[in-house]
Amino acid sequence: MEFDIGKFEEYREDNRLEVKEAKGGLPKSLWETYSSMANGYGGLILIGVSEKKDGSFETAGLDAKDVEKLRRDLWSVLNDGKKVSVNLLAEEDVKDCKVGEDLVLSIRVPRAKREVRPVYINDDLFDGTFRRNGEGDYHCSRSEVKAMLRDQTEETSDMKALENVEIGDLNLDTVHAYRNRHSAYRTGHVWESLGDEEYLERIGAAKRAKADKRLHPTAAGLLMFGEEFRILDEYPEYFLDYRETLDPAIRWTDRLQSSSGDWTGNLFDFFFLVYSKLVKDLKRPFKLEGVTRVDDTPVHKALREALANCLVNTDFFVARGIVVKKGSDAIVMENPGCIRTGREQMLKGGISDPRNKALMKMFNMIGIGERAGSGVPDIYAVWESQGWKEPVVEERYGPDRTILTLAFTPKQAEKTSGKNKRKKQAEETEANGGRGKSAKTLENRVKITAFLASEESAGTGEIARHIGLSPARVRVLLSELMDEGMVQATGNGRSRRYSVKQATGSDEASKRPA
């Protein structure tokens, strides 16, 4: 993110832009913002700028002497390991620009690589680590800091041998189902003749422990082939949930949970049970290769890729678990954990950095998943070829969560003409009781209530990121919705969350015709 002086009048504060007056020198809050941006998406800090009540910016009157001192102080603190855990800036990241008669110092903070996250201040790992949300900089919780520490290492946590778990604790039916799929995908593979224990060791599902030199399941082996109650011993937050809502009159038309007790609850069985539910309504063309029918399509492959990507990038120590939601016009896949390469790099492709490398290897061996880092771009390409709306990837913090939305609705071919747009707006205003709200406002209100209905509750920042509005605008719309009794709020300050207000018995009665 670079500072463009030509756009100064257009700038507003958001998750990637922060302004500081700095009339009395570098403000202490600068370092919290530095940590926040480094641990998030990166961003831009403008020194010598203040924010007016309407959200626009004005310069604070810095001159060349002020800027030179600020620059010296900045580099001095950045290179003090007691103040900042790591200096991410290069000379070209710090520039001064003239805006009118005043100078502004721009600081571009890059996103820190996972190997150096968390970036913290004041030599305090747990109390000095920050991130940004829609409300500004916030202290990371201990669980968020620990998640960043887990992501630092090249050997992912699913590779470790679990010395308190035995090979016999794995579900052999699942192991044999996996072996059958491997044999079908790689006919005549040299591992086909191996016994189960040696086979599990070769695929990364088992490893010899350093202490007793015996073969034990790895964390990946337990996740893939274990029983849910045993997985919970290692991962107390482990939870898999599939929700299908095809009829709006019914809350769930189908539901599958790892805790139900009527199936294993492991990742292998979840993948194939859920995948079959996701594709059951997709059209399958009739095609023969020799005498064998082939009914796979690019959409089927994309959904397999998306589901595998969701599983292998999950941080199983983080709360709320994996949730896959199927509606009549979209599929949403959510997994705990942020994107290790960052959202921009993931969409660009070319770098594969899964959170669970052993799990990815096991899926790859049965023909599922993409090791080259092109999986997500391929999904986007398939959706583009189908003429559907572009997939949406979101990252949320506190707790860390990645959300992929795959809509089956067509792209809007062209924008409504000005005349038709004004006509539609007038019709919507009339339908809205003459309150004069614009079509865009009504659309955003609907987006907010729909999002809250799907999430049960959300904060201002989450809503703002989801619908693409500023937090300030979202707060205005939420206030309107609360005044009208459509939305309710709980908590205060940054912990304040909103949800759709459930109608009471008296409310329902008042709506019935006399």
Digit-coded pLDDT (tens) for 76-129: 999 999 999 999 999 999 999 888 888 999 999 999 999 999 999 999 999 999
Higher-confidence residue: 56 or 30? Answer: 30
260 & 310 share domain: yes
- pLDDT confidence of residue 235: 96
Query: Which tokens is 445 given?
Result: 């209100």
396 & 458 share domain: no
* Average pLDDT, integer, range 55-71: 89
Asked, for residue 151, whether it belongs to a domain, the answer is: no
* pLDDT above 90: residue 203: yes
For residue 52, the domain's CATH number is: 3.30.950.30
Q: How far apart are CA 155 and CA 152, in angstroms?
A: 9
- pLDDT confidence of residue 514: 37
Last residue of one domain, picked from the residues 84, 115, 140? 140
63 & 97 share domain: yes
- pLDDT confidence of residue 202: 96
- Which residues, in sequence order, are CB contacts of 74 under 8 Å at separation 6+? 26, 94, 105, 107
Asked, for residue 37, whether it belongs to a domain, the answer is: yes
- pLDDT confidence of residue 289: 55
- pLDDT confidence of residue 79: 92
Higher-confidence residue: 273 or 456? Answer: 273
- pLDDT confidence of residue 330: 93
Q: How far apart are CA 204 and CA 200, in angstroms?
A: 6
Asked, for residue 444, whether it belongs to a domain, the answer is: yes
Asked, for residue 340, whether it belongs to a domain, the answer is: yes
245-264 confidence digits (pLDDT tens): 888 777 888 999 999 999 99
Asked, for residue 291, whether it belongs to a domain, the answer is: yes
- Which residues, in sequence order, are CB contacts of 409 under 8 Å at separation 6+? 329, 330, 388, 389
Last residue of one domain, picked from the residues 385, 407, 429? 407
390-446 confidence digits (pLDDT tens): 999 998 888 899 999 999 999 874 444 444 544 554 454 444 444 445 667 887 888
Residues 77, 83 contacting (CB under 8 angstroms): yes
348 & 388 share domain: yes
- Picking from 388, 364, 359, the residue whose alpha carbon sits closest to that of residue 375 is 364
280 & 215 share domain: yes
447-469 confidence digits (pLDDT tens): 898 888 877 788 888 888 788 78
Q: Which domain holds residue 134?
A: 5-140
206-220 confidence digits (pLDDT tens): 999 988 889 999 999
Q: How far apart are CA 223 and CA 398, in angstroms?
A: 24
Asked, for residue 267, whether it belongs to a domain, the answer is: yes
- pLDDT confidence of residue 294: 57
Task: Report yes or no on whether pTM surpasses 0.75.
Answer: no
Q: Establish whether the linkage from the previous residue to 513 is cis, with ω within 30° of 0.
A: no
Higher-confidence residue: 281 or 31? Answer: 31
376 & 276 share domain: yes
- Which residues, in sequence order, are CB contacts of 229 under 8 Å at separation 6+? 265
118 & 167 share domain: no
243-257, 371-385, 386-400, 477-491: lowest mean pLDDT where? Answer: 371-385
172 & 298 share domain: yes
List helix spans (H) across 313-405: 343-348, 357-364, 375-386
- pLDDT confidence of residue 286: 57
Q: What's the chain's average pLDDT?
A: 85
Query: What percentage of the chain carries pLDDT values higher than 90?
Result: 53
User: Where residue 162 falls among pLDDT bands split at 50, 70, 90?
Assistant: very high
- pLDDT confidence of residue 190: 94
Q: How far apart are CA 380 and CA 389, in angstroms?
A: 10
300-349 confidence digits (pLDDT tens): 999 999 999 999 999 999 999 999 999 989 999 999 999 888 878 888 77
Asked, for residue 427, whether it belongs to a domain, the answer is: no
Domains in the chain, number: 3
Q: Is the backbone of residue 334 left (phi > 0), alpha (psi -120 to 50) or beta?
A: beta
For residue 381, the domain's CATH number is: 3.30.565.60
The amino acid at 448? I
* pLDDT above 90: residue 500: no
Asked, for residue 503, whether it belongs to a domain, the answer is: yes
- Which residues, in sequence order, are CB contacts of 112 under 8 Å at separation 6+? 38, 39, 86, 88, 119
* pLDDT above 70: residue 58: yes
288 & 177 share domain: yes
* pLDDT above 80: residue 293: no
169 & 316 share domain: yes
Query: Which tokens is 202 given?
Result: 């070769």
206 bridge partner residues: 217
* pLDDT above 80: residue 295: no
29 & 127 share domain: yes
165 & 231 share domain: yes
Last residue of one domain, picked from the residues 407, 429, 460? 407
